[in-house]
Amino acid sequence: MDAFFASVEQRDNPELRGKPVLVGGSSRRGVVMAASYEARKFGCRSAMLTAQALRLCPQAIVVKGGHGKYSAVSRQVFTVVRSFTPDVQPISIDEAFFDLTNVMHLHARNWNRGSAWEEKGAIEALTAAGRRIKQAIREAVDLPASIGVSGNKFLAKVCSDLSKPDGLKILPPREAEQSLLPMPVGVIFGVGPKAQERLRQLGVRTIAEFRAFGEDRLVSRFGEQARDWLRLARGEDNRPVRTSREQKSIGKERTFFENIGDPEELRALLLSFVEDVARSLREDGLKAKGVTLKLRIADFRTFSRSRALDEPTDSTKELWAAAWSLLQEWLRERKGALRLMGVSLHGLTSETQLGLFGATPAKTPRTEAKVDSTLDAIVQKFGRGAIRRGGSLREE
């Protein structure tokens, strides 16, 4: 999806259409979650400090946004994609890999799976499929999407990025190696900003220069991961589309505008975090086996505290009890304001596990489950700010 959060806000608010929009926190420590393409022209981008983005584009409109709304739209988009193929691997709320191999016979007659890219009419069939998917997404959620099509994940991702916004690009694998040569090394999975800077110091900026540098020299400087980078640089990627990726954790954290030392304020914030992650847990049909707190103090030292639960649960009340107990213990151990606080749920499972010797696992009391489901329904319909537990209320 293209500038997903910003595009949703522009769709829902006519006054934002055609204007530079930043979705995220408006404080000096706030971070941009998404920048519209109008804002990107000025150099604004996601993960940038909001203050920095506003210096680049003072006329940008900052929108706080709402995760519940974006999640609902995301589910609609994934429903559309899965109507074309069941082989879908979500990567994030607005991005996925999907494999059309087993359904291409629906788009082209006499499709030869063994030599699909050489088949007469293959490009035309893939183009038609891509256009149908884009049109179906547009009809379902009235948003633009960009699609990249190729023989593996890496090449498809590169094509998708090159086609933005609202584009469709197809790259036959036989053309990939030559097409990659002039591209910057940053398109390679795993070559982040630090590695790119080190490569620039070595005179390596493009994939052609990267490949010419030599495998042994790259491995001596970057370790064994450089071999994987080189395979990608040649357009080789054998990773399959995984339709049932195991989710390991769900979490939320926040860097505060000002350091917070008041236990009651920290308690209220933590409860709001737990409400959000517990809701995400239930939306995904999962239960958690443990809770972890992440705590960072003013001098940037970071601490974590974890607790295993007696039984996997998706109950906000039970998860909150564990999280609050951990925070109380930490507050008793240390003094000093917090710069960042986060909570994550781990040991996620979709199965109800039996207790010791086959005993029936403890169930969340019906009243607590009813409260959770009622609050979830209200938030789903009206947004996160529509209702909260009283303990999480605080001035924004």
Active site residues: 95
> Which three-class secondary structure state does DSSP give residue 238?
coil
Q: Own/partner pairs for 244-248, CB < 8 Å, 24+ apart?
A: 245/89, 245/90, 247/284, 247/286, 247/348, 248/346, 248/348
- Of 239, 225, 243, 233, residue with least CA distance to 152: 239
Tell me the C-alpha distance between 310 and 342, whole Å. Answer: 22
Amino acid identity, position 265: E
Q: How far apart are the first and last CA of the chain?
A: 30
Q: Which two tokens stand for residue 36?
A: 């519209």
Q: Which two tokens stand for residue 310?
A: 């007696």
Q: Which residues of 52-87 are buried (b: 16+ CB within 10 A; e: fewer)?
A: ebbebbeebbbbebbbbbbebbbeebbebbeebbeb
Strand order, beta sheet including 61-63: 32-35, 21-24, 61-63
User: In terms of C-beta density within 10 A (0-12 exposed, 13-18 middle, 19 or more buried), how is residue 251 classed?
Assistant: middle
